[in-house]
Amino acid sequence: MAMIDEPLYPIAVLIDELKNEDIQLRLNSIRRLSTIARALGEERTRKELIPFLSENNDDDDEVLLAMAEELGVFVPYVGGVEYANILLPPLETLCTVEETCVRDKAVESLCRIGAQMKESDLVEWFIPLVKRLAAGEWFTARVSSCGLFHIAYPSAPEMLKTELRSIYSQLCQDDMPMVRRSAASNLGKFAATVEPTHLKTDIMSIFEDLTQDDQDSVRLLAVEGCAALGKLLEPQDCVAHILPVIVNFSQDKSWRVRYMVANQLYELCEAVGPEPTRTDLVPAYVRLLRDNEAEVRIAAAGKVTKFCRILNPQLAIQHILPCVKELSSDSSQHVRSALASVIMGMAPILGKDATIEQLLPIFLSLLKDEFPDVRLNIISKLDQVNQVIGIDLLSQSLLPAIVELAEDRHWRVRLAIIEYIPLLASQLGVGFFDDKLGALCMQWLEDKVYSIRDAAANNLKRLAEEFGPDWTMQHIIPQVLEMANNPHYLYRMTILNAISLLAPVMGSDITCSKLLQVVTNASKDRVPNIKFNVAKVLQSLIPIVDQSVVEQTIRPCLVELSEDPDVDVRFFARQALQTSEQVMMSS
Amino acid sequence: MIPLGNGEVGVPLPLEWKFSQVFGERAAGEEVQEVDIISAIEFDKSGEHLATGDRGGRVVLFERTDGKNYAFRKDQEKMDYSNARHPEFRYKTEFQSHEPEFDYLKSLEIEEKINKVRWCQTANGALFLLSTNDKTVKYWKVQEKKVKKICDMNLDPSASIGNGRFSGPIGAATDFVFPPGGFPSLHLPVVIVGHETQLVPRCRRVYAHAHDYHINSISNNSDGETFISADDLRINLWNIEISNQSFNIVDVKPVNMEDLTEVITSAEFHPTHCNTLAYSSSKGTIRLIDMRQSALCDTHAKLFEERETPGSRSFFTEIIASISDIKFGKDGRHILSRDYMTLKLWDLNMESSPVATFQVHEYLRPKLCDLYENDSIFDKFECCLSGNGLRVATGSYSNLFRVFGCVSGSNEATTLEASKNPTRRQVQTPSRSSRSFTSLARSRRRDANGGVYDFSAKLLHLAWHPTSNVIACAAANSLYMYYAEDVPR
């Protein structure tokens, strides 16, 4: 047993715990690997620590994951980029383990290191590693190899490049669907590094194979490749090679493939240019909007605004809008909900006239939808329409919708609408708000559900911020203070909470003249829960009000509470007193 | 019946089955512990491993003794009797997969009994499998680890205890400087790798809280990333990597439970088509669904159902029609189903009737009343196909199981007993020779004709080796293995 100097003691523990039986301690040590490396010095890190890690790779997955992550940023500790290849062997082993998240992290770290390595080192160390993994006995190694080609390829000499392309093409035909999936999902990244000439030949033929794979899960990922490849190709090549594929995919037997197309289609419009978009992609998209499978319609409906943004308004009105009308009365509530969450964004695209003429009826029908989610989604995006046509045209339907949501029997729906009230207030203006919505905001303070009362108190604060203290003095404070004597203690507590939230917004004067009185009165409450909440509120008021007020009103009240028979009241009162003393000391 | 290919010379001769091995054989007079009763059997795809599950929530793994040793295998080939060797297995390891639980919300006890075991893709020599009880599916990894010894620590391990764990950031303090060459006094612990290995089972994922009813099947998809779990009314689709969400793809629960007429009894993925799935029902139908058609597969692509013969209806017709198990053939073209009295082989291209029907224990037909009274009529027998698809097998009572040839023209129908002497009661039609049972029966129940059936000794679970003629079957707590050599034509 070597003698360890006192200051080195913690590091010695850290090193020993690399092999502790407790997984938490091993994890801790691995996370501090850089500290261990610095303590050993660069040379011994290269010669001892890294081989040590390479040999001890049968640890639990959590430890391996941490190791894979640490090694990705380890270049400085082994002596800089010229020694980066030292780090490859342990990561290579981690690329072969069974747990997906460990492999993914190891690949990520390898890419990070590879991106820093010199070209000659890549050829000497990195490319052979990729080839070894690609030829691995178990599918796990081959899966990992697919994610490394885009780092290896650019620096490879011509011969090796040819070989790498052919290896990748083999991986795309691997027996294991897992490997083909990995190859398909990494194809875009790899293709971005391949020269245009090979892109059109090798990569496109790989891509075509993938698009015809037996496994739905592989074809699905090939769809993602469409957009990525489309952006790399010249528009005419994209039209020749990608367009037919995507049009095919949009009619695939598998709804999951069509679902992916619905999600990705708008990205392709830019790559192919306006004319093919009009002739091919718009009809494909219209088909998807009318798909049999609700999941596909949900995806398509959710992209309707993004898609229309690319088209010229004429096309959108002519082809897409009729579908949107259909979808607004779709049999699936999720489709309508997806549509409602984006449809408001179409207003700026279509312009004022088309919006009033075409979209407004849809908005109004969605605002009357039987499912609250749909209505909520419309209300949440109100600002986008407001900019185009103003709110007046909507306000007639808006109010009943809001009132109904505000009284919905599901508290989560009520909660959602409360969160939108400040947005509504800012869009609708003070006048409208006072007439119609003010009463609702007070009503929520007396809701049966705590979360609603809590949100209601918060809502008052946000309204006060929106409309300013003068307005609040007139429209909120009197109503709130009226409720301070509610017979139910839980409601009295909500008012205390509202006061503590409003006070910072209202400022010192109003707090002292209006609010403080209510709080000190509440300190005489018969319920201890109210009393200790009074202590908490008073504590929060100390920084807001003037020192003299603390001395004359707050402290005497707290002193009284600190002698209360209830232990909790005494505790919070004393805590508040301590705060007041600290404030006094510092001032 | 499966038509013969052009290359075939004729109908293969019946196999001669011989006893191979037994695990957990009961001694005379020994009583069977409930927890030891085997409740699931499954060979892996390569045939190198076998797994069983039992009522005590344990999973036991067996491995082939002749498979691992390649040198030995090569020697065998040289000696030209490689064909003569049949696979033999040895105990590998076991682990507690499920524990008894209690659902406090529903006030329900959840048994630990393993309902199904399914092998998953192996990787890096580690074995992976899924096991399920009534409610929860678990994903297990069994890995061989070298036994390691750690020595030469920086600090005396006994002394370091109680010195307090260090937690502050080292090197962050200004007075602590790392010299460029490091501290020579520090060193890494030495790990000595022993020759011994240790099998470590680890539960990797738990797929829970997705079933309101009892899980009857789990099945892996050919895509290698998804599997299904089926209960009485619903089938859920999972990604192996994600345990906190699943998708409901089949739901046969009626709005009003009083309208319930049919439950799901078994479900299996097609061996190669990732989008095809079959499930059977208590009404005797098999539905094939195409997962590409829609997200919720309420409509089937195909419905396999045999039309009732008019006039044959009785009180038991519906009960015995219930399918207890279905299995796809390796070719993916046939489905084998087991109902109470028969084994049926279906061609995916013919929905109207099975291509072959095998009577498993027709002699019990007059006894259906008794079987109903003692609940035996609800026993769930499993079935299996041979790797080449030429034969099928299923279990019966009195620890018997039957093997049928399903090539057209074959009349192979063998009855075997799960014991060391499987053929001692070999009879083609037990109903006719029921008299011969009497001499063997001791504590068994006799009927008026002198026929004896032991309804408690039911052989529910069995599996056929994927590449050779080996059948593993469970008789209570014992696992019996039988083999047959291919008879030269």
Q: What is the dihedral of CA B446, B22, B47, B425, to 10 degrees?
A: -30
Q: Give a yes or no: residue B195 inside a domain.
A: no
Please report the residues numbered 292 through 311 in chain B whose beta carbons come closer than 8 angstroms to any beta carbon of chain A.
292-295
In 3D, which of B380, B400, B273 has the Cα closest to residue B324?
B380
Under 8 Å between Cβ of A226 and A268? yes
Domain that holds residue B302: 20-25+33-66+87-139+207-425+451-486
A567 touches chain B (CB under 8 A): no
B150 touches chain A (CB under 8 A): yes
Q: What is the mean pLDDT of residues B365-372?
A: 92
Of A35, A96, A139, the CB nearest to B170: A35
Q: Give a yes or no: residue A274 inside a domain.
A: no
pLDDT over threshold 50, residue B349: yes
Q: Give a yes or no: residue B476 inside a domain.
A: yes
What are all long-range contacts of A406-412, with beta carbons under 8 Å and residues at least 24 apart? Answer: A406/A440, A406/A443, A406/A444, A408/A372, A410/A372, A411/A447, A411/A449, A411/A451, A411/A452
Residue A534 DSSP class? H
Q: Do A458 and A489 fall into the same domain?
A: no
pLDDT over threshold 60, residue B383: yes
pLDDT over threshold 60, residue B442: no
Regarding predicted confidence, which is higher, B117 or A2? Answer: B117
Per residue in B391-419, pLDDT (tens digit) is 999 999 999 999 999 988 888 999 999 99
CATH number reported for the structural domain that contains residue B259 in this entry: 2.130.10.10
Reduced to 3 states (helix: H, G, I; strand: E, B; else coil), residue B173 is coil
Which residue on chain A is closest to B226 by alpha carbon? A217
pLDDT over threshold 80, residue B430: no
Q: Please give, rounded to a whole number of angstroms, the shortest distance from the CA of B330 to a CA of chain A.
A: 17
Identify from B155, B161, B199 which residue to disrupt to test chain A contact, counting A C-beta atoms within 10 A and taking the largest count. Answer: B155
Please count the structural domains in chain B.
Answer: 1
A178 touches chain B (CB under 8 A): yes
pLDDT of residue B175: 55
Q: Give a yes or no: residue A537 inside a domain.
A: yes
B188 touches chain A (CB under 8 A): yes
Per residue in A28-85, pLDDT (tens digit) is 999 999 999 999 999 999 999 999 999 888 888 899 999 999 999 999 999 999 999 9
pLDDT of residue B168: 46
Q: Please give, rounded to a whole number of angstroms, the shortest distance from the CA of B103 to a CA of chain A.
A: 27
pLDDT of residue B433: 38
Under 8 Å between Cβ of A464 and A503? no
Please count the structural domains in chain A.
Answer: 2
pLDDT over threshold 90, residue A514: no
Q: Give a yes or no: residue A426 inside a domain.
A: yes
- Verify whether the Cβ–Cβ distance B225 to A181 is below 8 Å: yes
In 3D, which of B139, B331, B141 has the Cα closest to residue B226?
B139
pTM for the predicted model, two decimal places: 0.83
Q: Give a yes or no: residue B459 inside a domain.
A: yes
- The Cα B111–Cα A366 span in angstroms is 49
**Which residues in chain A touch residue B272, judged by CB atoms under 8 angstroms apart?**
214
B198 touches chain A (CB under 8 A): no
Write the burial class of residue A495 (CB in 10 Å: 0-12 exposed, 13-18 middle, 19+ buried): buried
Q: Give a yes or no: residue A347 inside a domain.
A: no
Reduced to 3 states (helix: H, G, I; strand: E, B; else coil), residue B165 is coil
Under 8 Å between Cβ of A156 and A127? yes
Q: Give a yes or no: residue B314 inside a domain.
A: yes
pLDDT of residue B299: 86
**Which residues in chain A touch residue B144, judged by CB atoms under 8 angstroms apart?**
none
Q: Please give, rounded to a whole number of angstroms, the shortest distance from the CA of A107 to a CA of chain B.
A: 18
Q: Give a yes or no: residue A122 inside a domain.
A: no
Identify from A217, A221, A249 which residue to disrupt to test chain B contact, counting B C-beta atoms within 10 A and taking the largest count. Answer: A217
Residues A256-291 as b/e (b if ≥16 CB within 10 A, e otherwise) read bbbbbbbbbbbbbbebbeeebbeebbbebbebbbeb
**Which residues in chain B touch residue A38, judged by CB atoms under 8 angstroms apart?**
171, 178, 182
**Which residues in chain B touch residue A252, judged by CB atoms under 8 angstroms apart?**
292
Q: Do A434 and A514 fall into the same domain?
A: no
Residue B3 DSSP class? P
Average pLDDT in chain A: 90
pLDDT of residue B439: 39
- Verify whether the Cβ–Cβ distance B156 to A1 is below 8 Å: yes
- The Cα A525–Cα A536 span in angstroms is 15
Q: Give a yes or no: residue B367 inside a domain.
A: yes
| Domain termination site, one of A435, A467, A499 | A467
Per residue in B89-144, pLDDT (tens digit) is 999 999 999 999 998 888 989 999 999 999 999 988 899 999 999 999 999 999 98
| Domain termination site, one of A410, A436, A467 | A467
Q: Do A576 and A516 fall into the same domain?
A: yes
ipTM of the complex in this document:
0.83
**Which residues in chain A touch residue B166, judged by CB atoms under 8 angstroms apart?**
9-10, 13-14
Degrees, nearest 5: CA angle A538-A542-A545:
115
A177 touches chain B (CB under 8 A): yes
CATH number reported for the structural domain that contains residue A541 in this entry: 1.25.10.10
Reduced to 3 states (helix: H, G, I; strand: E, B; else coil), residue A383 is helix
pLDDT of residue B283: 94
Q: How large a percentage of chain B has pLDDT more than 90?
A: 61
A175-to-A129, A221, B123, B222 alpha-carbon distances in Å: 21, 17, 14, 11
Under 8 Å between Cβ of B441 and B423? no
Q: Do A405 and A463 fall into the same domain?
A: yes
What residues contact A59, with CB distance under 8 A and at least 6 apart?
Answer: A26, A67
Q: Give a yes or no: residue A291 inside a domain.
A: no
Domain that holds residue A497: 484-586
Write the burial class of residue A221 (CB in 10 Å: 0-12 exposed, 13-18 middle, 19+ buried): buried
Q: Give a yes or no: residue B339 inside a domain.
A: yes
B350 touches chain A (CB under 8 A): no
Regarding predicted confidence, which is higher, A356 or B343? Answer: B343
Per residue in A367-392, pLDDT (tens digit) is 888 998 898 898 888 888 877 877 77
- Verify whether the Cβ–Cβ distance B183 to A8 is below 8 Å: yes
Per residue in B36-69, pLDDT (tens digit) is 999 999 999 999 999 999 999 999 999 999 754 4
- The Cα A26–Cα A568 span in angstroms is 43
Q: Give a yes or no: residue B191 inside a domain.
A: no
Q: Give a yes or no: residue A97 inside a domain.
A: no
User: Which helix or strand (DSSP H or E) is residue B420 part of?
Assistant: none
pLDDT of residue A485: 87
Q: Give a yes or no: residue A412 inside a domain.
A: yes
Count helices and strands (H / E) in chain B: 5, 32
Of B160, B176, B292, the CB nearest to A7: B176
pLDDT of residue A537: 94
Under 8 Å between Cβ of A431 and A471? no
In 3D, which of A363, A375, A360 has the Cα closest to residue A406?
A375
pLDDT of residue B237: 97
